[in-house]
Amino acid sequence: MSSEQTTEVLVGAAVLAIAVGFLVYAGQVTGFTGAQTEYTLNASFRSADGVTVGTDVRMAGVKVGRVTGISLDPETYRAVTVFSVRQGIDVPDDSAVAISSEGLLGSNYVEVLPGASPFFLSPGEEIEFTQGSVSLVGLLMKFVTGDDEAPDK
């Protein structure tokens, strides 16, 4: 084999290794890890602004699932959210769920705040304690007007 062919083989192997590394990194960032099993839970929010299908579900800042469905309950006018949680992560039945933000201009995510109950939620059950998203515009209006009694919109 000539030195040109050896160089071409080495460069090709390096490109292939970089491509595989990129695919592994992309899988970790998107949460795709292959045949990982999940179970679903439900929560009902007064306001689910900034939450869509695919939004991260986190516990203690660690991604443990994603939002798989969101719809409006025509009877209560609340946003019913269905989300998945990785198998092996048991959620206590007195847990709460809140819509949190990654910062002032960051995206929203669903945060599971675990309770202290020794009993866990079964797949498909609903988490009763929820806190919807907070409107940044509403907070700014309260600050600007100095009105602590401004209605929640």
pLDDT tens sequence for the chain (153 residues) = 778 888 888 888 888 889 888 888 877 666 565 556 899 999 999 988 889 999 999 999 999 999 999 999 999 999 999 999 999 999 999 999 999 888 767 788 999 999 999 999 999 999 999 988 776 667 677 778 877 654 554
Q: How many CA atoms lie within 13 A of 101 on its CB side?
A: 12
Kindly provide the residue ranges of all beta strands, DSSP E only, lying in the chain, ordered along the sequence: 38-45, 56-59, 62-72, 79-86, 96-101, 108-113, 126-127, 129-131
Indicate the pTM of the whole model: 0.66
By C-alpha distance, which of 84, 60, 66 is closest to 29?
Answer: 66
Calpha distance 50→84 (Å, rounded): 18
User: CA angle, 109 as apex, 70 and 44 as ends, to 5°?
Assistant: 40
- Residue 17 one-letter amino acid: A
Can you give the pLDDT at residue 36?
64
Strands laid side by side in the 79-86 sheet = 126-127, 38-45, 79-86, 62-72, 56-59, 108-113, 96-101, 129-131
Contact 42, 81 (CB under 8 A): yes
C-alpha distance across the termini of the chain, in Å: 74
Can you give the pLDDT at residue 1?
74
